[in-house]
């Protein structure tokens, strides 16, 4: 790193802090502004903020590791979430905005009634807002520490100090500016982060050792360039090298079960967490839908290929990296081949990716603590100024908690695989609670608890992920359905109020339709289903088409792009004709 590099990094930090200061007064007016930007975000800003949040510091490293171990097809570990993402776009984004709530945890008492609903809301506010949120930030902190350690070769304890300083700056501007500052800095940080990754891809591909796209494809084994996993055989081939391979059962678990059944932070079936927060902060339900559509397309079609290209190049540049080091190939390429100036820009882009994720986690987690615990159970009559003040203090407290948890997480492994399995089966409840009046608070509580017991049993039997999903989802579904019919339904008045506000459609709300004939529920679900399919085709066709064109396949690449554009045209035609209901705040 030369002087110019450090100046670029310093300029980035100054710019991020300036945005926070600029939005301080606006965020301080009330908690609607602090947590939801006054429900006035345009679709492009809300959607870009979602994309920036999912672009964490470790994302390029994770993709590099997937590609280095299993080729391009290794990305199907996360590409399978397209199905659920598009479901959120067309079936849930409008409903979230229409609900007029501040957090997705608040939805619990909008939809359910009684002490069980109050308990569920309070528990989820602290569990998600503090514990789970700090676990996520802890892993992001560790990823940023690994990047700096690999880049500069300095000891881990010193690296964690630098990460802590970046975390403090992020917490300060998040506490000052609320979601407006977070969203605007997200957009700036996303552009910077993407620019940096694209530049690195061009630099690496231009190296004599690589020889451009054609040289790279000639030097690499054919399995690394496969876009689809191999289905059939004994199981994953990651341990011996080769394209991602999985059994038929494993493939069906990924493509047919995981995306709708499992709760996972940032990819909840039906939307949730910071994704729901952005949908609820949009100007109206039309902006909410388009924000989520833009996020889903950008998340899968725009971001991955610069990372994938660098990941492929690291197989040539660093052929001797061990399994645990493959993810750091991305950092080593930055360290070894970027000239002065560009190196500083890449370091700044990684800080941008890191801080955009942390800022959102702080604001989102704090919204749970304040709106769903402090305001709901501690001080229901608190004034807005008090709520904003406590929100800012809580943001800093959550930041401190994440630092403490970072030091603990350094010794934990396999946490994310456990999270997926421990949340398997909950997803169906999160979906059906919008469309079936009989789902109640006990249904959701049962679906949260049951997977933990099933997980313990099947692990004792040696059943591993993802085949374990068949067992966990099956037992959990039977359990929560049984509890649903054995317990009392939600109070009729609560259901009527929910139906009046959200007016969901479908046969699942038959009793409410009879009680409230004057309320017109949603219709046109056949069109929504077609839109969902078109959205899936759009994402996969453009993802594969762009990849094939980049890799020099001029025969099938243009065909995929044409199919993707046709799907986009169908969506544009249908959405331009679709009416959006007026919101009742």
Q: Residue 377 has what pLDDT? A: 92
Burial class of residue 296, CB neighbours in 10 A (0-12, 13-18, 19+): buried
Q: Residue 345 has what pLDDT? A: 85
* pLDDT tens per residue, range 175-196: 888 888 888 888 888 888 888 8
Report d(CA 350, CA 162) in Å as an integer.
13
Does residue 521 surpass a pLDDT of 50? yes
CA nearest 23: which of 186, 143, 155, 267? 186
Does residue 86 surpass a pLDDT of 60? yes
**Mean of the per-residue pLDDT values for the chain?**
86
424 phi/psi in degrees, rounded to 5: -70, 130
pTM attached to this predicted model = 0.88
Q: Which residue has the higher pLDDT, 240 or 374?
A: 374
**What is the average pLDDT across 150-165?**
78
Q: Which residue has the higher pLDDT, 212 or 584?
A: 212
For helices 273-281 and 156-205, give the axis angle rounded to 10 degrees.
70
* pLDDT tens per residue, range 320-371: 888 778 888 888 998 889 888 888 888 888 888 888 888 888 888 899 999 9
pLDDT-above-70 percentage for the chain: 94
What value, to the nearest 5°, has the Cα angle with vertex 360 and ends 355 and 365?
130
CA nearest 474: which of 177, 482, 52? 482
Sign of CA dihedral 85, 371, 406, 46: positive
Q: Residue 584 has what pLDDT? A: 45
What value, to the nearest 5°, has the Cα angle with vertex 204 and ends 552 and 142?
115
Which pLDDT band holds residue 403 (cuts at 50, 70, 90)? confident
Beta strands at 230-231 and 245-246: parallel, antiparallel or unpaired: parallel
**What is the average pLDDT across 268-274?**
83
Which pLDDT band holds residue 89 (cuts at 50, 70, 90)? very high
Which pLDDT band holds residue 414 (cuts at 50, 70, 90)? low
Q: Residue 585 has what pLDDT? A: 44
**What is the average pLDDT across 510-516?**
91
> What's the helix, strand, coil split of the chain in %, to 5?
75, 0, 25
* pLDDT tens per residue, range 22-71: 888 777 777 888 888 888 889 999 999 998 888 877 788 888 888 888 88
Q: Which residue has the higher pLDDT, 243 or 259?
A: 259
Of 19-33, 96-110, 363-377, least confident by mean pLDDT is 19-33
Annotate 329-382 with DSSP letters as a single string: HHHHHHHHHPPTTHHHHHHHHHHHHHHHHHHHHHHHHHHHHIIIIIIIII-TT-
Distance of CA 343 to the CA centre of its chain: 28
DSSP state of 505: -
**What is the average pLDDT across 515-535?**
89
CA nearest 374: which of 402, 347, 399, 397? 397
Of 288-297, 401-410, 437-446, 460-469, least confident by mean pLDDT is 401-410
Report d(CA 289, CA 524) in Å as an integer.
16
505 phi/psi in degrees, rounded to 5: -110, -165
Of 370-374, 410-414, 544-548, least confident by mean pLDDT is 410-414
**What is the average pLDDT across 492-501?**
94
Q: Residue 312 has what pLDDT? A: 93
Q: Residue 242 has what pLDDT? A: 55
Q: With contact defined as beta carbons under 8 Å apart, do 28 and 388 qualify? A: yes
Query: Quick check: helix, strand or coil at residue 104?
Result: coil
Give the length of the chain: 585
Q: Residue 105 has what pLDDT? A: 92
Distance of CA 222 to the CA centre of its chain: 31
Q: Residue 239 has what pLDDT? A: 37
**What is the average pLDDT across 214-242?**
72
Annotate 197-255 with DSSP letters as a single string: HHHHHHHHHTSTTT-HHHHHHHHS-GGGG-SSPEESSSS--TTT-SS-EE-HHHHHIII
**What is the average pLDDT across 280-297?**
92
Which pLDDT band holds residue 579 (cuts at 50, 70, 90)? low
Does residue 392 surpass a pLDDT of 80? yes
Does residue 210 surpass a pLDDT of 50? yes
Which pLDDT band holds residue 240 (cuts at 50, 70, 90)? very low
Q: Residue 316 has what pLDDT? A: 92
HEC string of 513-524 equals HHHCCCCCCCCC
Q: Can you name the residues that pair with 246 across neighbouring β-strands?
A: 231
Q: With contact defined as beta carbons under 8 Å apart, do 201 and 45 qualify? A: no
Which pLDDT band holds residue 144 (cuts at 50, 70, 90)? confident
Does residue 406 surpass a pLDDT of 80? no
Distance of CA 453 to the CA centre of its chain: 27
Q: List Cβ neighbours of 267 (8 Å cut-off, separation of 6 or more).
A: 81, 84, 85, 259
Q: Which residue has the higher pLDDT, 300 or 158?
A: 300
For helices 133-152 and 329-337, give the axis angle rounded to 10 degrees.
40
Q: Which residue has the higher pLDDT, 318 or 152?
A: 318
Which pLDDT band holds residue 581 (cuts at 50, 70, 90)? low
Does residue 231 surpass a pLDDT of 50? yes
């Amino acid at each position: 790193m030369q002087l110019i590099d450090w100046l670029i990094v310093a300029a980035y930090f100054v710019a991020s802090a300036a945005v926070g200061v600029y939005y301080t007064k606006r965020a301080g007016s009330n908690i609607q502004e602090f947590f939801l930007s006054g429900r006035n975000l345009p679709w492009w800003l809300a959607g870009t903020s979602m994309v920036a949040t999912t672009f964490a510091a470790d994302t390029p490293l994770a993709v590099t590791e997937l590609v280095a171990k299993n080729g391009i097809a290794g990305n199907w570990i996360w590409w399978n979430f397209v199905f659920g993402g598009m479901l959120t776009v067309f079936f849930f984004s409008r409903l979230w905005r229409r609900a007029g709530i501040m957090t997705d945890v608040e939805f619990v008492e909008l939809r359910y009634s009684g002490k069980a609903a109050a308990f569920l809301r309070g528990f989820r506010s602290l569990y998600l807002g503090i514990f789970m949120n700090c676990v996520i930030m802890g892993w992001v902190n560790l990823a940023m520490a690994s990047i700096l350690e690999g880049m500069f070769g300095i000891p881990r304890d010193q690296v964690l100090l630098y990460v802590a300083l970046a975390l403090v700056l992020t917490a300060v501007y998040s506490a000052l500016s609320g979601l407006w500052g977070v969203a605007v800095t997200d957009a700036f940080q996303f552009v910077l982060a993407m620019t940096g990754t694209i530049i690195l891809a061009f630099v690496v591909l231009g190296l004599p050792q690589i020889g451009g796209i054609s040289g790279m494809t000639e030097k690499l084994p054919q399995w690394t360039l496969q876009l689809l996993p191999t289905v059939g055989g004994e199981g994953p081939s990651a341990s011996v090298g080769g394209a991602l391979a999985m059994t038929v059962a494993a493939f069906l678990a990924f493509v047919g079960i995981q995306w709708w059944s499992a709760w996972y932070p940032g990819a909840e079936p039906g939307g949730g967490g910071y994704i729901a927060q952005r949908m609820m902060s949009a100007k109206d339900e039309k902006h909410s839908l388009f924000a989520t559509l833009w996020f889903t397309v950008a998340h899968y079609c725009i971001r991955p290929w610069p990372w994938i290209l660098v990941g492929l190049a690291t197989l040539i540049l660093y052929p001797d990296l061990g399994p645990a080091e493959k993810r750091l190939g991305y950092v080593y390429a930055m360290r070894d081949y970027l000239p002065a100036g560009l190196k500083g820009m890449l370091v700044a882009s990684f800080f941008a990716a890191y801080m955009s994720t942390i800022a959102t986690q702080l604001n989102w987690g704090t919204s749970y603590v304040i709106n769903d615990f402090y305001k709901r159970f501690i001080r229901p009559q608190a004034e807005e100024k008090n709520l904003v003040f406590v929100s800012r203090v809580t943001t800093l407290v959550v930041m401190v908690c994440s630092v403490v948890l970072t030091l603990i997480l350094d010794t934990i492994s396999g946490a994310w695989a456990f999270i997926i399995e421990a949340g398997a089966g909950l997803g169906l409840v999160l979906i059906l609670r919008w469309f079936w009046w009989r789902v109640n608070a006990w249904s959701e509580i049962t679906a949260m608890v049951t997977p933990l017991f099933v997980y313990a049993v099947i692990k004792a039997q040696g059943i591993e992920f993802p085949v374990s999903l068949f067992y966990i989802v099956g037992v959990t579904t039977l359990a929560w359905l049984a509890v649903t019919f054995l317990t009392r339904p939600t109070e009729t008045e609560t259901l009527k109020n929910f139906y009046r506000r959200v007016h969901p459609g479908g046969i699942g709300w038959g009793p409410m339709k009879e009680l409230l004939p004057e309320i017109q529920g949603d219709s046109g679900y056949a069109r929504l289903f077609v839109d969902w399919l078109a959205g899936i085709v759009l994402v996969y066709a453009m993802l594969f088409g762009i990849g094939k064109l980049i890799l020099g396949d001029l025969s099938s690449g243009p065909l995929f792009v044409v199919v993707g554009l046709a799907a986009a045209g169908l969506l544009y035609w249908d959405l331009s004709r679709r009416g959006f209901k007026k919101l009742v705040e």
